[in-house]
Amino acid sequence: MAKQNVPEKTAKTPSVRDARLKAALKANMARRKAQARARAEDVAQDTGNDPQGSEKDS
């Protein structure tokens, strides 16, 4: 049997994948940072402290 000509994957396919993964990672990190900031703010409000841990002058 003769081998059929199977086109090899294009060189740009990994770069497209890399760009998509990079964008997904960036979005995920931004979402996690926002969640962490929100949690820190909630804890600060519950304890009467600002997010850095020093007490408020109320």
pLDDT digits (tens, 9 = 90+) for 37-50: 999 998 888 877 66
Helix (H, G, I), strand (E, B) or coil at 39: helix
How much is the mean pLDDT over the chain? 81
Q: What is the pLDDT of residue 45?
A: 83
Of 30, 33, 37, nearest in space to 51 by CA: 37
Between the CA of residue 23 and those of 30, 33, 34, 36, 38, what are the distances in Å?
11, 15, 17, 20, 23
Q: What is the mean pLDDT of residues 22-40?
A: 97
Query: CB count, 10 Å around CB of 52?
Result: 7
* 10: phi then psi, degrees, rounded to nearest 5: -70, 155
